[in-house]
Amino acid sequence: MELLYRPGRTLPDAELERLVAELREVAASCFDPIPQYQCLAGTRAALSDKIITLARRPGGDLAGFCSAVILPVARVGDVLHLGLTCVRPDARSGRLTTRLTSKLVITYFLRHHGLRRVWCSNVACVLSSLGNVALNFDRVYPSPFGPAAPSAEHLRIAHAIDAHYRREIHIDPAAVFDPQAFVFRRSVPGSVFQKDARDSRFFHRDRALNDYYRRLMCFEDGDEVVQVGCVDAASLLAFLRRRLPFGSRRRVAARRTAGSAAGG
């Protein structure tokens, strides 16, 4: 596992070209055609606001990557947008997607954020992605385990994405942000990111989470959910103590129990 912090600012031209070629080779196993955005755009500018984790096989070949974007948001600070994860089909066992994301978030938190709370965002229609963020980050909205209503920070981040960062996140310019549902309506219609609501390859293992996020979106229209959550020192300690994916599944279980007792 390897982490690159803003590689567009530091890598020499030849190394940057090799990196982009590797990223695009892995992406070709996941998308047809390869989307020309995020780290796959390949320019130095496109790689200057990215944090990328790489997973290599023993021989050095790239098996997968996770690329996040740093989004400055007024009155919040830098927000870590979870962005783009690609893993070769023959390397998708062993929870590699979760390991790539955990490595990225933990390293960014420890090395570059001074243990201050890190706000994170995710825009997706993939139910497994939405479910993992709901389970493994704190204060996630919308989530069955998070706050009942968005905070001021949730709203500022979502509105900043809407107003300033559509191109970086590949949100259609004509999409409409629905602040009640935290959904971009018609965000990716007809693109490689649009998913079929019946395609179980993209389901989360928790059926209740699938049902929760499915109710927010219209897959046929290409809708995507906006999730906003955070990571803090307590989340990190829980991870290190229990060696679980990011966050505390015990806390999640307690939230579920409390919700059931309250009739939720």
**Whole-structure pTM value:** 0.88
257 and 233 together in one domain: yes
Q: Structural domain tally of the chain? A: 2
57 and 110 together in one domain: yes
Alpha-carbon gap, residue 255 to 167, rounded angstroms: 36
Mean pLDDT of 181-210: 90
Q: Does a structural domain hold residue 208?
A: yes
Of 62, 59, 65, the residue nearest 85 (C-alpha): 65
* Residue 253 confidence (pLDDT) above 50: no
**Cα angle for residues 87, 232, 145 (degrees, 5° grid):** 75
pLDDT at res. 202: 81
pLDDT at res. 257: 41
Model confidence pLDDT, tens digit, residues 95-119: 898 889 989 999 999 887 777 899 9
Confidence band for 153, pLDDT divided at 50, 70 and 90:
very high
137 and 256 together in one domain: yes
90 and 192 together in one domain: no
Could you tell me where the DSSP H helices lie in the chain? Answer: 7-10, 13-28, 96-112, 127-136, 152-164, 166-169, 207-216, 233-242, 249-261
Model confidence pLDDT, tens digit, residues 33-92: 999 999 999 999 999 999 999 999 999 999 999 999 999 999 999 999 998 999 999 988
Any idea what the CATH number is for the domain that residue 72 is in? 3.40.630.30
Q: Does a structural domain hold residue 65?
A: yes
Q: Does a structural domain hold residue 159?
A: yes
Question: 150-188: buried (b, 16+ CB within 10 Å) or exposed (e) per residue?
Answer: beebbebbbebbbeebbebbbbbeebebeeeebbbbbbb
164 and 261 together in one domain: yes
Q: Does a structural domain hold residue 121?
A: no
Last residue of a domain, one of 64, 90, 116: 116
Confidence band for 239, pLDDT divided at 50, 70 and 90:
low
Range of the domain at 169: 126-264
Last residue of a domain, one of 116, 138, 156: 116
Confidence band for 26, pLDDT divided at 50, 70 and 90:
very high
Of 109, 128, 101, the residue nearest 213 (C-alpha): 128
145 and 249 together in one domain: yes
244 and 143 together in one domain: yes
3-state SS of 179-248 is CCCCEEECCCCCCCCCCCCCCHHHCCCCHHHHHHHHHHCCHHHCCEEEEEEEECHHHHHHHHHHCCCCCC
* Residue 229 confidence (pLDDT) above 70: yes
Alpha-carbon gap, residue 211 to 218, rounded angstroms: 12
* Residue 205 confidence (pLDDT) above 80: yes
